Amino acid sequence: SYGGKLDVTKDTLISSKNYKKALEYSTGFTGLNIDYGIVPFKSFAIKPGVGIGWGSLELETYQTENNFDWDGFKSQSDQNNFINRAESSFIFVKPNISFEYALTNYLLIRANASYAMTFGYDWKYNNTATLNNVPDDLNSNGMQIQIGVFVGLFNF
C-alpha cells in the first residue's frame, strides 16, 4: 500500500470576513507486485515486474471562516461555508523495473521506475450522488521513481 496527498490553501476576504479556501487531492494504491530477478553478475540484479490492484482518488474543496463558533456548526452548508467531495475507486496495472546492487549481505542499493495505469473509475459526489462528466485527465496515472538504501537486520 502507498499513497499521497496534496493540500493547497488560500486566505480570502468575503463580506469583510476572513475565509480559508482549500483543495485537497489524495490517492492511494493497494495491490500485489510480482518481479522476476535476473542476476547478470554477482551482487547485481535486474528485476522487471508488474503490480496489479485497486486504489482510490479523492478530491475535496472547502471554504470556511477562519474563526468559527460551535453554535454555527450545522448539517447543511451555506454559501460561504461549504465542503464538496468527489471520490472514485479504480483498478491499476503498474509495470516496473528495479536495479539492485548488494554492497554487503546487510546493505542493498535499489533504483526503481514504474508507471501506474488506472482504469474503471466510478465517481461519487459527497458520498451520495453519481458524479458525471469528470474529465478523463483527472486520474492517478503517473510515473514513479524510487532510489533507496536497504539495511537488513538478519541474513537468512
C-alpha grid cell, residue 2? 502507498
Distances in Å between the Cα of 25 and the Cα atoms of 15, 22, 31, 138, 155 are 28, 10, 21, 10, 40
88: nearest Cα among 61, 58, 52, 62: 58
SS3 70: helix
Lowest mean pLDDT among 31-35, 49-53, 74-78, 109-113: 74-78
Position 39, amino acid: V
Could you report the per-residue pLDDT of 122-156, keeping only the tens digit for each?
A: 999 999 999 999 999 999 999 999 999 999 887 66
47: nearest Cα among 143, 118, 3, 111: 111
Distances in Å between the Cα of 34 and the Cα atoms of 23, 108, 123 are 35, 19, 29
C-alpha grid cell, residue 52? 496489479
Q: Give the position of cell 488560500.
A: 10
Could you report the per-residue pLDDT of 72-117, keeping only the tens digit for each?
A: 777 666 777 888 999 999 999 999 999 999 999 889 999 999 999 9
| Reported pTM | 0.78
